[in-house]
Amino acid sequence: MGSAASAAAPPPPPPAQPHMAAPPYGAGLAGILPPKPDGEEEGKKKEVEKVDYLNLPCPVPFEEIQREALMSLKPELFEGLRFDFTKGLNQKFSLSHRVLTDGRLNARVKCDLTDDLTMKINAQLTHEPHYSQGMFNFDYKGTDYRAQFQIGNNAFYGANYIQSVTPNLSMGTEIFWLGHQRKSGIGFASRYNSDKMVGTLQVASTGIVALSYVQKVSEKVSLASDFIYNHMSRDVTSSFGYDYMLRQCRLRGKIDSNGVVAAYLEERLNMGVNFLLSAEIDHSKKNYKFGFGMTVGE
Residues 22-41: pLDDT tens digits? 444 444 544 555 666 655 55
pLDDT at 16 over 70: no
Report pTM. Answer: 0.78
Closest CA to 72 of 218, 269, 245: 245
Residue pair 184/175 in contact (Cβ under 8 Å)? The answer is: yes
- How high does pLDDT run on average in the chain? 86
pLDDT number for residue 268: 93
pLDDT number for residue 43: 52
Domains identified in the chain and CATH numbers = 64-297 (2.40.160.10)
Q: In angstroms, how far is CA 196 from the centroid of its own chain?
A: 10
pLDDT over 70 for what percent of the chain?
83
Q: Please list, in sequence order, all residues whose beta carbon lies within 8 angstroms of the beta carbon of residue 96, skipping any fewer than 6 positions away.
A: 84, 85, 86, 87, 107, 108, 110, 297
Residue pair 265/282 in contact (Cβ under 8 Å)? The answer is: no
List, for residues 140-171, the tens digit of each pLDDT value. Answer: 999 999 999 999 988 899 999 999 999 999 99
Longest dimension (CA), the chain: 137
Sign of the CA dihedral running 256, 100, 267, 290 = positive
| Torsion angles phi and psi, residue 30, rounded to 5 | -60, -30
pLDDT band for position 191 (cuts 50, 70, 90): very high
pLDDT number for residue 136: 94
Length of the chain in terms of residues written = 298
Q: Please list, in sequence order, all residues whose beta carbon lies within 8 angstroms of the beta carbon of residue 135, skipping any fewer than 6 positions away.
A: 121, 122, 123, 150, 151, 152, 153, 156
- For residues 188 and 44, which has the higher predicted lDDT (pLDDT)? 188
H or E element that contains 12: none
Residue pair 148/141 in contact (Cβ under 8 Å)? The answer is: no
pLDDT band for position 4 (cuts 50, 70, 90): very low
H or E element that contains 177: strand 169-178
pLDDT over 90 for what percent of the chain?
61
Distance separating alpha carbons of residues 197 and 214, to the nearest angstrom: 5
Residue pair 293/99 in contact (Cβ under 8 Å)? The answer is: no
Q: In angstroms, how far is CA 171 from the centroid of its own chain?
A: 13
List, for residues 282-295, the tens digit of each pLDDT value. Answer: 988 889 999 999 99
